[in-house]
Amino acid sequence: MYIGYLVPDAIDGGVLVGDSVSEKLVRYTDLFFEKHGHRPLAYVYSYGCQQNVSDGEKLKGQLSLIGYEFTDDTEQADLIILNTCAVRENAENTVYGAVGGLKHLKERKPELIIGICGCMAQLEHVAQKIRASYRQVDLVFGTFAYGDLYKMLYDIIYNKKRIFNLSENNTDINESFYQVRDSKIKAFVPIMYGCNNFCTYCIVPYVRGRERSREPQSVIEEVRKLVEDGYKEIMLLGQNVNSYSYGFPELLKSIDSIDGDFRIRFMSSHPKDASKELIDTIIESRHICKHLHLPFQAGSDRVLKAMNRRYTIDDYLKIVDYARSKRQGFSFTTDIIVGFPGESYEEFCQTKSVIKRVGFDNIYSFVYSKRSGTPAAELEDNTDDKTKGRWLRELLLEQRENIMTLFSRFIGKDVRVLVEGRGRQMQLTGKNDENIIVEFDGDESIIGEFVNVRIEKTANWALFGTITKE
Ligand code: 5AD
Ligand code: SF4
């Protein structure tokens, strides 16, 4: 066994010890090294949300433990895993396009292993389509099968099998997955998996199952370790963090009590569960950004009801007003769906009114995408996609007008920025507490640190300024 390659933590966690499948895979990558002069290279690409990126980091962690290294070039890869998203149809089409493009690569390189996993792969009809029409794919596994990765790889490599693993049995949370994180500055920390809300347009509850929360102690320890390792931003993840079983404000308070130079973000929150206690916890905290990503989805109460969102716009605005009564300038961002089946133009205009009334620092807006198997897919829809596209542009235009006024509140002020990399217009870029892009000049050696930037100028996508204090 090629122990030298293993990460000590993972051995402590018992991932590899005494596990013969993984030992054989370690031997496989050793032999590969002897034969080719390099370790087998894995290309792992995650589409979609941060939860998916986090799953991808766990896959990479498992692969690294058995001796894989990584590439971002599919041409060089010996193993390609596309970790997919099913939230909207175009995300699915992108994946089909990408897999289609790999056909020739597989013909040239028959030993190449191609896998598709994640939300889209969990859907029966997708798996069937891949089985029938994408012969180049060796491995399809859903969101419950990450823990079977070694066994699946083993069966492909040694038993020449083609694997379809859509099992929904393993809903236990595996706390011992080693992760190869994409960033050294920002870390994703899932606190719960799945969703119980069944918004009528959404496929997530069908592909990620019911809510399961991680033990608070395990989350707190993970964050403590990340902060010790120098991570500056911790992003807590869940489809609806407010229904974390052990109490979300309590968890936030415990994480906030960790000493160190770091900030905490989290997403997503569901308005039906966003409480005053949550807002108070954010405002009174040391590390939590004074910002809430709170998707309202639609501005009409009738549409919200049809979406099964279980709040009214009045409820939503009460949260916003409460937060701002306690702290002026408390920042909100949101998700919006345009053109839910049956939404009229007048109802869509109510969505525009809400964005004007609230003043969001950013909106993530999408044209409704029909997901078969969801209740909304059965609803009559008389508005064509072209019209919906026009509504979306109207919404973005409205937001663009709002944003200039909103961003002007920063002019002349100092904001705290985590420096993330090279900028588009100035030397460096980062985000402030409100999650707004800030650009400024400075030396690359400060990437990964917090700086204060005095804002001088704004555009509709960013703030620009000068460092006042490092
Ligand atoms: N069509 C369009 N947007 C969707 N979302 C979820 N499902 C759909 C769908 N079927 C959006 C919601 C959600 C975000 C992650 O994706 O706005 O908050
Ligand atoms: Fe989908 Fe609603 Fe669950 Fe979010 S809360 S994942 S939109 S069902």
Query: Cis omega (within 30 of 0) on the bond before 20?
Result: no
Tens-digit pLDDT profile for residues 252-267: 999 999 999 999 999 9
Read off the DSSP letter of residue 166.
Answer: -
Percent of the chain with pLDDT over 90: 92
Enter the pTM of the model. 0.93
Instruction: Tell me: do 454 and 324 sit in the same domain.
Output: no
**In terms of DSSP H, where are the helices of 167-239?**
204-208, 216-228
Q: What is the DSSP letter of 361?
A: S
Same domain? 359 vs 405? yes
Query: Going by CA atoms, what residue is nearest to atom 4 of ligand 2?
Result: 239
326 occurs within a structural domain: yes
Whether residue 169 has pLDDT greater than 80: no
Look at residue 416 and tell me whether its pLDDT is greater than 90: yes
86 and 39 assigned to the same domain: yes
Res. 437: pLDDT tops 60: yes
User: How much distance in Å is there from the Cα of 467 to the middle of ligand 1?
Assistant: 38
> Is the per-residue pLDDT at 10 higher than 90?
no
Please check whether residues 279 and 401 belong to one and the same domain.
no
**Which of the four pLDDT bands, split at 50, 70 and 90, describes residue 470?**
low
Q: Which atom of ligand 1 has the smallest separation from the CA of 201?
A: 10
- Whether the pLDDT of residue 447 is over 90: the answer is yes
Tell me, what's the pLDDT at 174? Answer: 75
Question: What pLDDT sits at residue 215?
Answer: 96
DSSP-derived secondary structure letter, 102: T
Establish if 170 belongs to a structural domain: no
Distance 361 CA to ligand 1 centre (A): 19
CATH number of the domain that residue 321 is part of: 3.30.750.200
Count up the domains in the chain and report the number.
4
Output the CA 325–ligand 2 centroid distance in Å.
28
Confidence of residue 167 (pLDDT cuts 50, 70, 90): confident
Radius of gyration of the chain (CA): 23
Q: Predicted confidence band at 14 (pLDDT cuts at 50, 70, 90)? A: very low
Nearest alpha carbon, ligand 1 atom 13: 335
Element at 226 (helix H, strand E): helix 216-228
Q: CA-to-CA distance for 318 and 323, rounded, in angstroms?
A: 9
352 shares its domain with 215 = no
Question: pLDDT digit string (tens) for 280-307?
Answer: 999 999 999 999 999 999 999 999 999 9
Q: 38 lies in a domain?
A: yes
pLDDT at 7: 39
Within this chain, do residues 66 and 211 fall inside the same structural domain, yes or no? no
Question: Is the predicted pLDDT of residue 3 greater than 60, yes or no?
Answer: no
Side-chain half-sphere CA neighbours of 355 within 13 A: 31
Output the CA 376–ligand 2 centroid distance in Å. 13
Decide if 439 contacts 451 (C-beta within 8 A): no
With a cut of 70, say whether residue 408 has pLDDT above it.
Answer: yes
**Which of 49, 143, 200, 239 is the pocket-test mutation for ligand 2 (most atoms within 8 Å of CB)?**
239
State whether 311 and 385 are in the same domain.
yes
Residue 357 shares a structural domain with residue 263? no
pLDDT digits (tens, 9 = 90+) for 21-33: 999 999 999 999 9
Q: What integer pLDDT is reported at residue 18 of this predicted model?
A: 54
Range of the domain at 149: 2-165
Mean confidence (pLDDT) of the chain? 93
Ligand nearest to the backbone CA of 194: 2
Q: Taking residues 442-456, what's their average pLDDT?
A: 97
Distance 298 CA to ligand 2 centre (A): 14
Q: Tell me phi and psi for residue 333, to 5 degrees.
A: -125, 165
Mutate to test the pocket of ligand 1, among 268, 337, 371, 374 (most ligand atoms within 8 A of CB): 337
pLDDT in tens, 39-75: 999 999 999 999 999 999 999 999 999 999 999 999 9
